[in-house]
Amino acid sequence: MAKPISIEVWNPSGKYRVVSTKSMPGTRWIRLLTDNNCRLEICTEAKTILSVDDILALIGDRCDAVIGQLTEDWGEVLFSALKRAGGTAFSNMAVGYNNVDVEAANRNGIAVGNTPGVLTETTAELAASLSLAAARRIVEADQFMRAGLYEGWLPHLFVGNLLKGQTVGVIGAGRIGSAYARMMIEGFKMNLIYYDLYQATRLEKFVTAYGQFLKANGEQPVTWKRAATMEDVLREADVISLHPVLDKTTYHLINPERLAIMKKEAVLVNASRGPVIDEVALVEHLKANPMFRVGLDVFEDEPYMKPGLADMKNAVVVPHIASASKWTREGMATLAALNVLGKIKGYPVWGNPNQVEPFLNESATPPPACPSIVNAKQLGW
């Protein structure tokens, strides 16, 4: 017999049963569900990652919808169980859905929601933070200070890299990559080289205009260049930030050969998806090149790091916190709740999932729509 799963119940008499596999930031998402006749059950198990069996127990015999997390394995087993329980909707509290077998959801008629439109700036800020922390050796210096090792100023103590006037490289100049580039260009007057399958026209226009502004004020103008190949970015840039999607073509995008062509004192940042970097190769490169630095928010086998990475002083590592600003996480919870509520209520899908501000205005009633359903077309919606 399965062990009972501990839950917190809101609006026990609600008509629609919605399960959230984790407590989420804020309270607005709770009110939106309970004010719309939903019985909300929030899992309170003291486990970081729920197993498939745990989630099966939460779904039970009757469940209209589930809000889940990107650490969970949503495939045929869970979607078929949700269908048998009468469910029609699932939403990740994440923009990514690599943990979701969308085809399995399609087979079972389950709408799959995600939460884009609220992560752009906060993720870009974290990538910029990692860039600065790695370049200026902030984590090393912090640990040194806390260990009581500081005895006075020294000329060579924690000398790092100046960013001003250097070249920032962006691989994947979509919304997040472009926002990151703007922060680095405007903040540190860095030149830009980027690689993307599509031309980033708005980003190019921004850099051109900012360069003209600097020149008009007697400063060195910044420049931009769209690279013909990814290798061009890796060779030329002093700081490289990765912002690709994760698919077969980007798995181990950064491998031993590409690490070898980067500058010896380059800074590599990844706040996109862990498997775009061959982490074993990265550890070896860090060992062989002590002035090469890396800032990582994601990992190849998350939540684990490859052996040796934690020992590298030239690596700044944080636990997948790119979206961890209060506004963003509360917004993600709201969008996830509205995705499943919209399906329950029979609402249409919102026209542009990257323009979700109307759903986040706390002083107004959200539009009667699902903010973002990734398989809407497949379900004939």
Q: What are the two backbone dihedrals, phi and then psi, of residue 80, each rounded to the nearest 5 degrees?
A: -70, -35
**Beta pairing partners, 8:** 42
Task: Assess whether 273 carries a catalytic annotation.
Answer: yes
In the structure, how many helices (H) and strands (E) does the chain have?
13, 13
* Paired residues of 38 in beta bridges: 16
CA-CA-CA-CA torsion for 106, 107, 111, 117, nearest 10 degrees? -30
Residue 277 to residue 336: CA distance in whole angstroms:
29
Q: Which residues of 346-366 are buried (b: 16+ CB within 10 A; e: fewer)?
A: ebebbeebeebeebbeeeeeb
Active site residue 302: yes
| Unique residue bearing structure tokens 């502004």 | 213
> Assign residue 158 a region: left if phi > 0, alpha if psi is -120 to 50, beta otherwise?
left
Neighbours of 20 (CB within 10 A): 28
Count of CB atoms within 10 A of residue 327's CB? 13
User: Which residue from 216, 223, 218, 292 is spatially nearest to 254, judged by alpha carbons?
Assistant: 292
Alpha-carbon span 29 to 234, nearest angstrom: 42
Given 273, 285, 293, 329, the catalytic residue: 273
Q: 3-state class of 80 per DSSP?
A: helix
> What distance in Å separates the CA atoms of residue 192 and residue 184, rounded to the nearest whole number?
9
Alpha carbons 213 and 221: distance in angstroms, whole number: 8
134: tokens are: 């790695």
Residues with Cβ within 8 Å of residue 185, at least 6 apart in sequence = 168, 191, 192, 206, 207, 210, 222
Residue 280 in tokens: 């074993």
Sign of CA dihedral 199, 203, 206, 210: negative
Which residues are known to be catalytic? 273, 302, 320
